[in-house]
Amino acid sequence: MVRPSVTELVRRARDGDRGAVAKLISVVETGGPDALAAGAALFPHTGRAYTVGLTGAPGAGKSSLVDALIRRIRADGDEVGVLAVDPTSPFSGGAILGDRVRMQDHALDPGVSIRSMATRGHLGGLALATPQAVRVLDAAGKPWVLIETVGVGQVEVEIAGAADTTVVVVTPGWGDGVQANKAGLMEIADLFVVNKADRPGVEETVRDLNLMLDLSPPRSWRPPIVPTVAVRGQGVDELWEAIGAHRAHLEATGELAARRQERLRRELRTIVGARLAERAEAACSGSRFERLVREVAARERDPYSAAEELLAGAGMRGAGGPPAPGSG
Ligand X SMILES: Nc1nc2c(ncn2[C@@H]2O[C@H](COP(=O)(O)OP(=O)(O)O)[C@@H](O)[C@H]2O)c(=O)[nH]1
Q: Which residues bind ligand X (CB under 6 A)?
A: 56, 58-64, 98-99, 195-196, 198, 229-231
Considering only 37-45, 58-66, 103-111, 183-191, which stretch makes contact with Mg ion by CB under 5 A?
A: 58-66
Is 56 a residue that touches Mg ion (CB under 5 A)? no
Rounded Cα–Cα distance for residues 271 and 8 (Å): 26
Rounded-to-integer distance, Cα 165 and Cα 190, Å: 6
Which residues lie below 8 Å from residue 212, measured CB to CB, with a gap of 6+? 175, 182, 186
The whole-angstrom separation of Cα 225 and Cα 194 is 7
Query: What one-character-per-residue DSSP string does 17-49 give?
Result: -HHHHHHHHHHHHH-SHHHHHHHHHHGGG-S--
Q: Which CB, 59 or 200, lies closer to ligand X?
A: 59
CA 103 to chain centre: 20
The dihedrals phi and psi of 194, each to the nearest 5 degrees, come to -100, 95
Which of 96, 112, 137, 160 lies at the binding interface for Mg ion (CB under 5 A)?
96
**H-assigned helices in the chain:** 4-14, 18-30, 33-42, 62-75, 100-103, 125-139, 154-160, 182-188, 202-215, 236-253, 255-283, 287-297, 303-313
Smaller CB separation from Mg ion, 102 or 249: 102
- Looking at the Cβ atoms of 100 and 294, the one nearer to ligand X is 100
Work out what residue 231 binds among Mg ion, ligand X, none; the CB cut-off runs from 5 to 8 Å by kind. ligand X
User: To the nearest whole angstrom, how small is the minimum distance from the Cβ of residue 274 to ligand X?
Assistant: 29
Give min distance, CB of 66 to Mg ion, in A. Answer: 8
Q: Stretches 67-75, 93-101, 120-128, 318-326: which one binds Mg ion (CB under 5 A)?
A: 93-101
61 interacts with, out of Mg ion, ligand X, none, CB within 5 to 8 A per kind: ligand X
Instruction: Pick the piece of the chain touching Mg ion (CB under 5 A) from 32-40, 54-62, 291-299, 303-311.
Output: 54-62
Helix (H/G/I), strand (E/B), else coil: 134: helix
What is the amino acid identity at position 320? G
Residue 81 or 172 having the CB closest to ligand X: 172
Residue 19 interaction partner, one of ligand X, Mg ion, none, beta carbon < 5-8 Å per kind: none
246 touches, from Mg ion, ligand X, none (C-beta below 5 to 8 Å by class): none
Of 132 and 149, the one with the shorter C-beta distance to ligand X is: 149
C-alpha dihedral, 309 to 315 to 317 to 318, nearest 10°: -50
Q: What one-letter code names the amino acid at 177? A: G
CA dist., res. 278 & res. 270, Å (int) = 12
In whole angstroms, the minimum distance from the beta carbon of 228 to ligand X comes to 6
Q: Say which entry of ligand X, Mg ion, none residue 82 contacts (CB below 5 to 8 A, set by partner kind).
A: none
- Between 60 and 243, name the residue whose CB sits nearer to ligand X: 60
Least spacing, CB of residue 30 vs ligand X, in Å: 25
Residue range at the interface with Mg ion (CB under 5 A); choices 27-35, 60-68, 285-293, 297-305: 60-68
**Which of the choices ligand X, Mg ion, none does residue 58 contact, using the CB cut-off of 5 to 8 A by kind?**
ligand X
Q: Are 11 and 41 in contact (CB under 8 A)?
A: no
**Which residues sit at the interface with Mg ion, rule CB under 5 A?**
62-63, 96, 98
